[in-house]
Amino acid sequence: MTYPGSGGQGQPNDPYQQPGGQPGYPQQGGYPQQGGQPGYPQQGGYPQQQGYPQGYPQTGPQPTQQYGQPVEQPFGRPQGDPYGQQQFGAYGYPAPEQPKKRKGLVIGVVAAVIAVAAGAGVTVWALNRGSAPAGAQSPTAAATSLVNALGQGDVAGLLTGLAPAERDLMTTLNSETTKELQRLEIYKADADPNKLQGFELKTEGLQFDEAGAEKVNDHLTITKLVAGKLTISSDASKLPLTEEFIEAAFPRGLDAKPQTETVDIAEIVKDNDGKAIRIATVNVDGEWYPSLFYTIADYALQESDNSWPKTPIAAKGADSPNQAVREMAEAGLDANLERVIELLPPDEMAVIHDLGPMLVEMAKKDGAEPTGVKITKLETETTEVEGATKVLLKEFEAEMEGEKVSVTKDGECYSAEAQGERKKFCADDAAAEIGGKRMKPEAKKALTNLVKGMIANTGVVTTQVDGKWYVSPIRSLTDIQVTALKSLDPADVKALIKMLK
């Protein structure tokens, strides 16, 4: 398979990179962030962005705060209290910050058109990875088919219409998350992952300016949405939450009043100085697909008055998972952003490869300098996860100007040594520190289970493409979320909820 983005004839490049916080790395907010109430981590399958010039790319993994998007975490729930009314905003997803102009509405429509099916707090869905991608013969057809799938509440159609690598990232996260939330008795066992629940989007008369479409290169075209209407409705009472979870988390019940609003796209375009809503589409193996990641990157470029680079940074993987992780760490410490980008998966992170030359130049202008830290030892072990290999730390040593630091994993503990002092960090200690001296036994057990699971199973996820290994920042961050969920049992969830009251 050929993909756009990482350069070179026949090199695998997929347009599904997610912008990240540190150069080349997705931010955990862009990727499923953990917080709010323990046990139901916040998801953000998409990258959060802090502003392109200051360090784009930032992932995962939820469209950009920088531009006031209403849907900040398209894959899961809003940050903070999951399903809390203050988190839903007006339409069942987090309320946007009020921008000075109406740029928030522009990005909001893009988010609705591309990813509202996974809008924060309104649905969790999954799709078998074996489902064949459904590409289109033109950029406009690709964007239109996506909108049609949304209008029909067709989650399966939505996902198969996305670019293959982007689809696989979403479905891997959501299939595992759904399964864990059902196991934890947060979601009902019969919740249908392929249907939108608690949310409805209807479209009417959508029109694209085909003549105005921008062909960036042979694999990327920006389509222009200029007219039509979106009617957005939400009803939190239809969320697939179990009665037990609602009673525990919301003892006074969900204040779930149905809400509906209609957005006139032509009015948004008019208020945006006549600028159409931009939806990026990418060509993979001769077929066109809409891409959320490229759309986010395109808006970031528009905001910063930058253009797409003419040439990408080609992918250059390592010979093993351990080597990929070590080289990525060394490149980061050496402020070698070009090598960081080379080690990103060409199928999942094509957008970063496409943006690479500009990102490297921006890092140089910002004065990025090597830290002087040298890794002298890195021992790891690996375990298989869905479609990838996770690298787990066993022992790490580094030095700088004669000073040495070491970190060793010891069962359920980490030991760190620096300047002759040694300190041990264990799950029981962490639980006591988080919960305090008056913490109830069941809450301590829950926190201990959570920390134990995170210590034992948190690692860096790598993927293999054409025989070479790459570090996947998106999968690494989403794996943290899944690891947290797997560390708990239903009783732990209840105990954590009680502890937070």
pTM metric for this prediction: 0.72
The one-letter amino acid at 353:
H
pLDDT above 50 (res 100): no
Beta strands in 349-418 (DSSP E): 374-385, 388-400, 403-410, 413-418
Residues in Cβ contact with 311 at an 8 Å cutoff, skipping those fewer than 6 apart: 7, 357
Angstrom distance (rounded) from CA 110 to CA 279: 7
- Enter the tokens of residue 34: 């953990």
pLDDT above 90 (res 56): no
- Enter the tokens of residue 36: 């709010």
The chain-wide mean pLDDT, for the chain, equals: 74
Mean pLDDT of 41-49: 34
Mean pLDDT of 399-422: 90
Angstrom distance (rounded) from CA 445 to CA 332: 37
* pLDDT, greater one: 431 or 354: 354
Phi, psi for residue 159 in degrees, rounded to 5 = -70, -40
Q: Which of 154, 93, 92 is nearest to 127 (CA)?
A: 154
Bridge partners for 225 per DSSP? 208, 277
For residues 158 and 149, the answer to whether their CB atoms sit within 8 Å is: yes
Predicted confidence (pLDDT) per residue in 439-480, tens digit: 888 988 999 999 999 999 999 999 999 999 999 999 999 999
Predicted confidence (pLDDT) per residue in 282-314, tens digit: 998 898 888 888 988 999 999 899 999 999 999
The one-letter amino acid at 376:
T
**E strand or H helix at 462:** strand 460-465
Q: Find the distance separating the first CA and the last CA of the chain, reported in whole Å.
A: 52
State percent of the chain over pLDDT 90.
43
Q: Are strands 413-418 and 220-234 parallel, antiparallel or unpaired?
A: unpaired
- Enter the tokens of residue 261: 């609003």
- Residue 193: the pLDDT is 67
pLDDT above 60 (res 53): no
Query: Which of 183-192, 232-241, 386-395, 430-439 is predicted most confidently?
Result: 386-395
DSSP-based three-state secondary structure for 297: helix
- Enter the tokens of residue 427: 């799950």
